[in-house]
Amino acid sequence: MCYIIKTFINHLLILTALPLSCSPLALLWLCLSQLPMSYMSCIFQLSPRRTDVLTVTPWLAPVVWEGTFDPMLIDAIYKPMNLTVAATVFAVGKYIMFLQGFLESAERHFLVGFRVHYHIFTDEPEKVPPLTLAAGRQIIVHKVHKLNRWQDISASRMQLIQKVIEDRVHREAIYMFCLDVDAKFYSRWGAEALELLVAQMHSWFYREQRHGFTYERNPASKAYIPNGEGDFYYAGALFGGSVGEVYKLAKMCHSHLEIDRANGIEALWQEESHLNWYLLHNKPSKVLSPEYMWDNKKGQPGEIKVIRFSQVPKNYKEVRENA
């Protein structure tokens, strides 16, 4: 019960930044909708609509799969809020080739009907495609330096996310998602994903036991997770939540990356390793199923009813620096 009250209060604090045109009833519905689905099921005596997959974490956060939410109800609750959602996308080096496909598919499927600010980080701003976006959606380009190693490009993301929140996103958006550019949207990716702190089960590890997770195992690293610990293995290709929660995540991960760098340590999967450490110690309030960032090389198992967002097939040796 304390968790319910805390979550409700946190959302009220977030929503003070919403437009004054939002009605009190709409605000109440949004706060209630953000409670973990397990609590909502208890309150309204609803039975789960999926029994073949995990729909609630051990700490009672919802796991979002097709069939666990009503998209029409979700849209009816959220769209009157006039929310702005920021999305960070890194198109550095050869990864610029994926940007047009990403943006075109996002306009068809990603938070359709919401205001979305795409923050594009690239070393080649002139190659950002001049797309016509839906009303209320815009592209903001940030020029960054190209680094020599793909590992360094990956590790620099947390610092840049932290900075863009400090510089402008905290004034412009309520929620924020950090997405990989080398992927396309194929189906609805909507407001059911919104929450305070959102993580996604990695498509290659959601069936694994924790001993199979590729956590950082070097005790000297700030990303270290001992054997026998861990909840899920989360994807670095997708995370988000309220702007404030994403800021705390990015700031701590950046700090830990810098400490490791000063000590001559590089975690196994760079920022993804630090992200997994953070989410072990700061539990996400919503977990997205692998539908929300899939890899088509895995085919489509029976539990994956819909593929919403999936990595583009590629040869990493051709697109990564020093691969």
Q: Give catalytic residues, as residue numbers.
A: 272
CB 243 within 8 A of CB 172: no
- Count of H helices and E strands in the chain? 11, 11
Q: Is 214 annotated as a binding residue?
A: yes
Q: Is 272 annotated as a binding residue?
A: yes
Q: Is 78 annotated as a binding residue?
A: no
Q: Is 91 annotated as a binding residue?
A: yes
Q: Is 287 annotated as a binding residue?
A: no
Q: Is 202 annotated as a binding residue?
A: yes
Q: Is 70 annotated as a binding residue?
A: no
Beta strands in the chain (DSSP E): 63-64, 84-90, 115-122, 138-143, 175-180, 183-185, 197-201, 234-242, 286-288, 294-295, 309-311
192 backbone dihedrals φ, ψ, rounded to 5°: -60, -15
Rounded Cα gap, residues 29 and 12, in angstroms = 11
Beta-bridge mates of residue 236? none
Q: Is 92 annotated as a binding residue?
A: yes
In this structure, the number of other CB atoms found within 10 A of the CB of residue 138 comes to 13
Q: Is 90 annotated as a binding residue?
A: yes
Q: Can you say which residues are annotated as belonging to the binding site for UDP-N-acetyl-alpha-D-galactosamine?
A: 90-92, 95, 180-182
Instruction: Give the annotated binding-site residues for Mn(2+).
Output: 180, 182
Task: Indicate the annotated binding residues.
Answer: 90-92, 95, 180-182, 202, 214, 272, 295
